[in-house]
Amino acid sequence: MTADRKIFDIHGHNGSWPDRINCDELIFDVIKREKISKLLISNLSGMETENHVEGGNPLIPELEANRQTIKLCKENEGVLYAAAVCQVGKSSPETLEQALKEYKFTALKFHPFLIGIDANDKIYDPYLEIAEANNLPCVFHSAPGTSDPMKIYMLAKRHPKVPVVLYHINLMGNCEFTIEMIAKAVAKKEANLYCDTAWCPMDVTVNALRSSIKNRVMFGSDLPIDGPDHFRYYRGIMQTIDDLMPNVADDYFYNTAARLFLGEE
């Protein structure tokens, strides 16, 4: 990577996954070592369920999770940015609104798999209405099943003014189909879709950056889910893009995210 490369990682976590990882103990070491400029975080403890069971109860209540994120972001202003976790079906839109009164969040975070409710269910609509009212992008775990990209697209079509980011493009699913789906949705102005490339293979990431949606593809890593050397998966991919795709590297690593989440020009 070039020495002056700015990186806005739009996919990070605070909180913990019991018996697996404590994000709060790791994120700052990883940020420093990998020279991350900015990191969007959501509280893993407010999404994870015991034994990672679909539709289980979150480890801690939504408001507690978001207040933990608020505290960490206030202590690290300008580096950490907060995505409010939304425990759809377990909490309420009113609880989310309370958190939004307490702090200026950067995004709303949804994990349909852990929630156990299909992403196109109407129960999500009040949350996206809140997002629109507060000019907040929504970030979604995207993978086959309850979090299927097509289901997220169906929800986003009902709220075309809300930027909706598909984390992972389509984790363990058909990413090429999803890239084409995003392209068609944007071309038809049906939905305001973006994506990140967390855990995407090299070829998927490169193909996305060569496609018509290249200005809607952002760097995200799921930091620090893979432990202290979390970035070992990404270093080769990042270097390849930096070396061979300089025309899109600035937007991919920083500019697109800064425009979308922070309103930077």
pLDDT at residue 21, as a whole number: 80
> pLDDT digits over 137-178, tens only?
999 999 999 999 999 999 999 999 999 999 999 999 999 999
Angle at 150 between CA 204 and CA 177, to 5 degrees: 30
Mean pLDDT of 132-141: 98
Mean pLDDT of 229-233: 93
Mean pLDDT of 128-140: 98
d(CA 135, CA 138): 10
pLDDT at residue 2, as a whole number: 66
pLDDT at residue 129, as a whole number: 98
Task: Kindly state the percentage of the chain with pLDDT values over 90.
Answer: 89
Q: What phi and psi values does residue 35 have, to the nearest 5 degrees? A: 60, 50
Counting every residue written for the chain, the total comes to 265
Q: Which CATH architecture has domain 8-262?
A: Alpha-Beta Barrel (3.20)
Mean pLDDT of 200-216: 97
Mean of all residue pLDDT scores within the chain: 95
Q: Is the pLDDT of residue 33 over 70?
A: yes
Q: Is the pLDDT of residue 22 over 90?
A: no
pLDDT at residue 20, as a whole number: 76
**In the structure, what pLDDT confidence band is assigned to residue 1 with cuts at 50, 70 and 90?**
low
Task: Kindly state the percentage of the chain with pLDDT values over 70.
Answer: 98
> pLDDT digits over 39-80, tens only?
999 999 999 998 888 999 999 999 999 999 999 999 999 999
